[in-house]
């Protein structure tokens, strides 16, 4: 069996809090294959950030271990870290250097010199060429995030970890970033992505792992996960409140309402209920369930318990 790019082996993490011990991760086991694009999804507080912090060597697991291409992130920290390129959620930068200088210094941390051709390529693909000599303080938030991506890739790591890389950034950056990351993945780089933009995960990821309360509750190929969704979705717009019986199972975003419907008879019944309640609807459509529908369904399982 080929060696995993990243292997989480029974990883648990417990934090001490004023209210008592809090278990952020509970026996998480997950192998990320070489060359795979894996999405790690979960609600806030599910344990995603803790898992990545342990992978990066920034936190120590309470039990279990993590291997990066066979190197333990605690015992073989330098070898493991050399193989990782991590784009963090937070914007952290040195305000005293230009973009190019920041990338040159980052290269130096990994013992790499004279890689200006690769730095130029990163600047080009991330739309930073005209900002190369600008001081980091002069950049907008979106541009700073592009630099973070470039810093993570400057040593050509075989494994790329993207922790909410497009949170709060413009559409142009999202498109530019995903085009470049997809190219690197096709060239053999392994990618681990956490994101709240589920359409990104659906479009890009080969497999999806879902975390809930520190445990993996789903791990499947993206296609398999979507095909297992046995329902369609009735989607429409309305300005009126839904009757309570429908509101409990609907997902409402502004004026857009989405309600699961297993078959044609369910759609007819839903429309009848809306009509009897006096709810006027517009732009009715029936679509197949997407990753967001699957995610909401899985995260809602056992909620009452």
Question: pTM of the prediction?
Answer: 0.82
Structure confidence at residue 36 (pLDDT): 95
Structure confidence at residue 119 (pLDDT): 94
**Cα dihedral sign, 141-110-186-290:** negative
| Structural domain spans, the chain | 1-83+157-173+184-225, 94-156, 230-288
Mean pLDDT of the chain: 87
Residues paired with residue 16 on neighbouring β-strands, in sequence order: 21
Residues paired with residue 209 on neighbouring β-strands, in sequence order: 40, 219
- CATH (residue range 230-288): 3.30.70
Domain 1-83+157-173+184-225: CATH superfamily is P-loop containing nucleotide triphosphate hydrolases (3.40.50.300)
Residues paired with residue 256 on neighbouring β-strands, in sequence order: 237, 253
Q: Which range, of 22-26, 123-127, 257-261, averages the lowest pLDDT?
A: 257-261
pLDDT digits (tens, 9 = 90+) for 151-178: 999 999 999 999 888 776 778 778 888 8
Structure confidence at residue 100 (pLDDT): 92
Structure confidence at residue 291 (pLDDT): 87
Q: What is the largest CA-CA distance in the chain?
A: 72
pLDDT digits (tens, 9 = 90+) for 50-78: 999 999 988 999 999 999 999 999 999 99
Question: In angstroms, rounded to a whole number, what is the distance separating the alpha carbons of residues 62 and 107?
Answer: 32
Say which DSSP state 101 is in: H
pLDDT digits (tens, 9 = 90+) for 94-152: 778 899 999 999 999 888 988 999 999 999 988 889 988 998 888 888 888 888 889 99
CA distances from 42 to 129, 144, 288 (A): 35, 26, 22
pLDDT digits (tens, 9 = 90+) for 202-223: 899 999 999 999 999 999 999 8
Structure confidence at residue 304 (pLDDT): 39
**Which pair of structure tokens corresponds to residue 131?**
């900002």
Question: In angstroms, rounded to a whole number, what is the distance separating the alpha carbons of residues 20 and 39?
Answer: 31
Mean local confidence (pLDDT), 255-284: 85
């Amino acid at each position: 069996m080929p060696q995993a790019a990243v292997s989480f082996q029974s990883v648990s993490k417990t934090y001490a809090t004023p209210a008592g011990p809090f278990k952020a991760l509970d026996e998480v086991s997950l192998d990320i294959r070489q060359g795979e694009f894996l999405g790690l999804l979960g609600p806030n507080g599910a344990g995603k950030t803790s898992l990545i912090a342990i992978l990066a060597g920034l936190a120590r697991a309470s039990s279990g271990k993590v291997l990066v291409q066979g190197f333990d992130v605690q015992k073989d920290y330098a070898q493991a870290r050399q193989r990782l390129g991590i784009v963090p959620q937070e914007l952290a930068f040195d305000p005293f250097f230009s973009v190019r200088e920041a990338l040159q210094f980052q290269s130096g941390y990994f013992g790499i010199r004279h890689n200006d051709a690769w730095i130029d390529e990163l600047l080009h693909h991330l739309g930073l060429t005209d900002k190369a000599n600008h001081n980091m303080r002069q950049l907008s938030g979106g541009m700073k995030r592009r630099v973070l991506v470039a810093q993570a890739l400057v040593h050509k790591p075989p494994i790329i970890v993207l922790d909410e890389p497009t949170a709060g950034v413009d559409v142009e950056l999202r498109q530019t970033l995903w085009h470049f990351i997809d190219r690197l993945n096709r060239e053999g780089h392994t990618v681990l992505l956490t994101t709240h933009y589920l359409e990104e995960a659906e479009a890009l990821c080969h497999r999806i792992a879902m975390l809930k309360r520190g445990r993996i509750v789903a791990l499947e190929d993206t296609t398999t996960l979507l095909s297992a969704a046995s329902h369609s979705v009735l989607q429409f717009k309305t300005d009126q409140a839904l009757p309570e019986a429908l509101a409990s199972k609907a997902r409402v975003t502004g004026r857009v309402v989405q309600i699961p419907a297993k078959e044609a008879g369910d759609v007819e019944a839903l429309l009848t209920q809306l009509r009897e309640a006096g709810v006027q609807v517009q732009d009715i459509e029936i679509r197949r369930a997407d990753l967001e529908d699957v995610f909401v369904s899985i995260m809602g399982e056992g909620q009452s318990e």
